[in-house]
Amino acid sequence: MSAPRFTLRQGVRSLAALVCAALAVAVVPAAASGATASGAGSAASVSAASTVSASTLTAVTTDDISASLSADNGGVLTPTQDLTVSVTVTNPTDSAYPAGSVSLWLDPSPQKSRASLNSWLASTTAVSNRVTIGEGTVTVLEPGTSTVVRITVPAAAVPFGTNPSGAVYGIGATASVGGKTVDARGSVVWNPGVASTRSSVGVVMPIVSPSTSDGLISAADLATYTSPNGVLTRDLDGLIGHSTVTVGIDPMIVASVRALGNAAPASATDWLNRLAGLPNDTFSLGFGDADVTGQVQAGIAAPLAPTSLAYALDPKNFTPSPTPVGEPSTATPTPPAETPSPTPTSGTDVTLPTLDELVAWKYSLTGIGWPGDNTVRTADLAPLAAAGLRTVIASGSNTNQSTLESTPNATLPFDGGKLVISDEALSTAIRQAASAPSDVAWNTAMSKVNAQLELISAEGTQSKQLLISFDRSWPSSGTQLRRTLETLFSSPWTTPATFPSTASAAASSGLALSDAPESQTRIDAFKALVQDEHSLDAFATVLDKPETMTGRTRAELLTLFAVSWQNPRTDWSAAVAASRKGTVDTLHSIKILPTENVNLVSAQGSIPFTVSNELKDEAANLVLTAAPSNSRLEIDQNATKRIPQDSRATMLVPVKAKLGNGQVVLSLRLYSPAGVPIGDPSAVTVDVHADWEGIGALIFGILLVLLFGFGIVRNILRRRDQRRKRLAGESGGGEGEAEVADPADAAEPTDATEPTHAADTTDEAEPTTPPEGDARG
């Protein structure tokens, strides 16, 4: 049974073959040799050790062998030039295939339009009048390997070599291996050198970093991205000599470098200065390249912007003041007298850059919004225009572009602004070329580009105004940008154009926007993330400087909104889940620790509660409220406290008990000074014994009275007893004896507060009156 056929249109399924082909050319280039038109050919085989594994290949191919082809020189053939084609045969299975053969054939009928070429490339119907123009040999295909067969057709043997007009021809290859047969299709452009109608082609390219959710790029990542082979460095390298390419700049990159101050990597500051020196037109993407249509579709009135980046500024990195970076070379220096450099007056008095200073850039174009491919609705345009984005770049897949008989100009007006539509087929092929891992892959992609351009040229004598857009996240391994742009702009069918000239072209009739809302899953995630931001903004009111939290939250939110997260190679769902978990953790970082039941035996007092602040970098200003479940307790006032970061503290709630015993449930809640609830509510049971204090006081008073009363009575009785004894002694000793005072009586203390003191004094004075008998005598 025959294996399924593969075409150049099936770029995804042939990607593995192209990767393996690159490895084949790199490993055994000497093994590849040209075959003559009579059928001589050879194959360069790739060893199993140097190829992509079978398990990897099965992700992009069928369970059987596959094939792809590409013509050299970007698929363009000129007179006296040999036609050289690379046919890649891939075995993704676990079984080896014996040696086989490849035949190269031509459809002699030239393609008449872009639509007919697309249809031909996708067809699996046999071409009845095809002409075999070359053959080659396929070596043994080990499991999980590929082989590249190079077939060369001499210029004299090319069937259309005498055609005086330019044309696009379909070519194909049929590989027969181990009883299996598989076809591949491609195209070749015949360019005899005659004058052709050139299309004005504008190119728009983003300067963005790999997807992140961190709000800003770290110093380590900046050093990597701006290294000699870093992704940002290659962006600028590719733009050398191509000043008509319009560049959309993510201001997060600019702010990330400047926010590091003197700690910014030298490669990053050099890169930013180099970016400032570009002669190209530039415009601002959203901060973090945030998706503008996704925000509108999520119910956000206008695209969000950063609020503060102060959280990322370390004062020690701005002493001394760093040299300004990213200042365009054409800028006029400002006299020092008007804008004096800030001079710190103390070790801590450092002037830090403002948000505006961190993101400032002298863009040559303004008011441009660039959503992701195929994500725009008609309903999105009015909110974007109201937000100042009156020029919106949209992909051709977001329109009816492919159904039109001829290629339209890029512009499409709408009420309040205009859309600038990129050509879908050209943009897709250019992106593939810029990220191609090998010459074979690059030629495959550029063959598509050149075939499309030639067919557009053949549509008429009036020049088309076309826009080609690069992807937001072309692979970090891509190194073909400059080569791709040079080939595009040197094509006999193109004239380089700037974005403003492309956007000012007359609109073509028939072109219309096709609504393409973003997935509901993505929109729901946007809404959830925005709600999380609102929660964190409210929570931040516990801080001395709420903007340190709200600024970070907004920056991280915008980077999660990045268009590049729409790339299926990224794990956006995991990034969103991690962000949402972080929000939950932050909202629960301040809490009342569990408290056992409290016994209250006094009429009033303060009940202690322990509050934890787990924020690593911020102190929290808190208000603790308590609400009793019944009237046994009254709360005098709320407790307030400033709790340092990553610590615990005790907050005292003053209470007043009323008469009566019983339980009271205190409902506890933390608030910020602004009245925002913080953390989860808590409750504690208080056992109130308010009457115990009165009973205890009464008992104590009674005991005190009894104690003093007993002492007083005892004192009185003792003194009276002593007096009687004295009187008895005097009467027994005879008359005339002098009364001698009892030393004990003289030393006996008296209590001035005792009520019987006056009586005691009177009793003791009685012996001074002489007895009646003595007076008589």
Q: How many helices (H) and strands (E) does the chain have?
A: 21, 28
123, exposed or middle or buried, with CB in 10 Å at 0-12, 13-18, 19+?
middle
Boundary of a domain, candidates 664, 692, 720: 692
What's the CA gap between 609 and 593, in Å, rounded?
Answer: 8
> pLDDT band for position 475 (50/70/90)?
low
Greater confidence (649 vs 745) lies with 649
Residue type, 764: E
Boundary of a domain, candidates 140, 167, 190: 190
In a domain, 152, yes or no: yes
Q: What integer is the mean pLDDT of 678-700?
A: 76
Residue 129, token pair as written in the block:
């009048």
pLDDT (0 to 100) of residue 53: 30
User: How far out from the chain centre does Cα 492 lie?
Assistant: 43
What's the CA gap between 709 and 755, in Å, rounded?
Answer: 11
Residue type, 512: A
In a domain, 510, yes or no: no
pLDDT tens for 89-137 read 999 999 999 999 999 999 999 999 999 999 999 999 999 999 999 999 9
Tokens 């005790």 correspond to what residue?
A: 650
Are 277 and 153 part of one and the same domain? no
In a domain, 47, yes or no: no
Decide if pLDDT at 331 tops 60.
no
Are 245 and 364 part of one and the same domain? yes
> pLDDT band for position 370 (50/70/90)?
very high
> pLDDT band for position 3 (50/70/90)?
very low
The β-bridge relationship of strands 6-7 and 100-111 is unpaired
pLDDT (0 to 100) of residue 696: 57
Are 265 and 206 part of one and the same domain? yes
Q: Are 624 and 639 in contact (CB under 8 A)?
A: yes
Beta strands in 239-321 (DSSP E): 246-249, 282-284
Decide if pLDDT at 8 tops 50.
no
Are 553 and 574 part of one and the same domain? yes
Are 470 and 390 part of one and the same domain? yes
> pLDDT band for position 693 (50/70/90)?
low
Residue 131, token pair as written in the block:
């002409």
483, exposed or middle or buried, with CB in 10 Å at 0-12, 13-18, 19+?
middle
DSSP structure string for 327-355: --TTSPPPPTTTSPPP--SSSS---PPPH
pLDDT (0 to 100) of residue 731: 66
CATH number at residue 165: 2.60.40.10
**Among candidates 7, 231, 186, 4, which has minimal Cα distance to 85?**
186
pLDDT (0 to 100) of residue 702: 76
What's the CA gap between 746 and 465, in Å, rounded?
Answer: 130
Are 251 and 104 part of one and the same domain? no
Q: Are 111 and 120 in contact (CB under 8 A)?
A: yes
pTM, 2 dp: 0.79
Residue 445, token pair as written in the block:
């992609």
Give the end-to-end CA distance of the chain in Å, rounded to a whole number. 168
**Among candidates 210, 292, 193, 205, which has minimal Cα distance to 245?**
205
**Among candidates 557, 373, 397, which has minimal Cα distance to 472?**
373
pLDDT (0 to 100) of residue 733: 53
What's the CA gap between 17 and 122, in Å, rounded?
Answer: 18
Average pLDDT of the chain, as a whole number: 84
pLDDT tens for 13-35 read 343 333 333 333 333 333 333 33
Decide if pLDDT at 578 tops 90.
yes
pLDDT (0 to 100) of residue 135: 97
Q: Are 389 and 368 in contact (CB under 8 A)?
A: yes
Residue 560, token pair as written in the block:
């999660």
pLDDT (0 to 100) of residue 352: 95
Are 162 and 208 part of one and the same domain? no
pLDDT (0 to 100) of residue 477: 64
Taken in order 686, 690, 691, 694, is the CA torsion positive or negative? positive
> pLDDT band for position 732 (50/70/90)?
low
> pLDDT band for position 7 (50/70/90)?
very low
Give the HSE-up count for residue 752: Cα atoms under 13 Å, Cβ half-sphere. Answer: 0
Residue 650, token pair as written in the block:
């005790």
What's the CA gap between 152 and 159, in Å, rounded?
Answer: 14
Which range (38-52, 273-287, 538-552, 620-634) has the least confidence? 38-52
> pLDDT band for position 348 (50/70/90)?
low
pLDDT (0 to 100) of residue 517: 97
In a domain, 7, yes or no: no
pLDDT (0 to 100) of residue 770: 40
What's the CA gap between 69 and 447, in Å, rounded?
Answer: 10
Q: What integer is the mean pLDDT of 347-360?
A: 88
Instruction: Give the Å distances, CA to CA, from 477 to 228, 230, 540.
Output: 13, 9, 41
Greater confidence (297 vs 712) lies with 297
pLDDT tens for 222-263 read 999 999 999 999 999 999 999 999 999 999 999 999 999 999
Residue 492, token pair as written in the block:
């006999």
**Among candidates 579, 573, 471, which has minimal Cα distance to 522?**
573
Which range (229-233, 250-254, 710-714, 730-734) has the least confidence? 730-734
Determine what percent of the chain is predicted with pLDDT higher than 90. 70
What's the CA gap between 129 and 678, in Å, rounded?
Answer: 78
In a domain, 228, yes or no: yes
Q: Are 443 and 74 in contact (CB under 8 A)?
A: yes
Q: Is 468 helix (H, G, I), strand (E, B) or coil?
A: strand
Residue 151's contacts (CB-CB under 8 Å, 6 or more residues apart) are 34, 35, 41, 84, 85, 87, 102, 104, 134, 135, 136, 173
Q: Residue 273: in which H helix or E strand, if any?
A: helix 266-276
Domain span at residue 170 reads 60-190
**Among candidates 708, 376, 613, which has minimal Cα distance to 513?**
376
Query: Of 541-545, 719-723, 747-751, where does the model show the most confidence?
Result: 541-545
CATH number at residue 382: 3.20.110.20
Are 221 and 148 part of one and the same domain? no
Are 578 and 597 part of one and the same domain? no
pLDDT tens for 481-496 read 999 999 999 999 999 9
Are 111 and 177 part of one and the same domain? yes
Edge to edge, what strands does the sheet with 417-421 contain?
368-369, 391-394, 417-421, 411-414
Residue 321, token pair as written in the block:
């003041």
Which range (35-44, 69-78, 454-463) has the least confidence? 35-44
CA dihedral 377→383→385→387, nearest 10 degrees, is -140
pLDDT (0 to 100) of residue 243: 97
Residue 277, token pair as written in the block:
């020196």
> Residue 643 carries which DSSP code?
E
Residue 702, token pair as written in the block:
């009674």
What's the CA gap between 371 and 36, in Å, rounded?
Answer: 50
Neighbours of 431 (CB within 10 A): 19
In a domain, 481, yes or no: yes
Whether residue 108 has a cis bond before it, omega within 30° of 0: no
In a domain, 378, yes or no: yes
In a domain, 492, yes or no: yes
Q: Spell out a b/e string for 611-627, using b for 16 or more CB atoms within 10 Å of the CB, else e.
A: bbbebeebbbbbbbbbe
Greater confidence (43 vs 502) lies with 502
Decide if pLDDT at 765 tops 80.
no
CATH number at residue 611: 2.60.40.2310
Q: What integer is the mean pLDDT of 163-190?
A: 96
pLDDT (0 to 100) of residue 476: 61
What's the CA gap between 480 and 305, in Å, rounded?
Answer: 34
**Among candidates 137, 270, 114, which has minimal Cα distance to 199?**
114
> pLDDT band for position 771 (50/70/90)?
very low
> pLDDT band for position 266 (50/70/90)?
very high
Boundary of a domain, candidates 587, 614, 642: 587
Taken in order 626, 631, 632, 636, is the CA torsion positive or negative? positive
What's the CA gap between 100 and 175, in Å, rounded?
Answer: 7
Are 372 and 493 part of one and the same domain? yes
Residue 716, token pair as written in the block:
């009185």
> pLDDT band for position 393 (50/70/90)?
very high
What is the total count of domains within the chain?
4
Are 546 and 561 part of one and the same domain? yes
pLDDT (0 to 100) of residue 19: 37
Where would I find the H helices in 564-676?
572-587
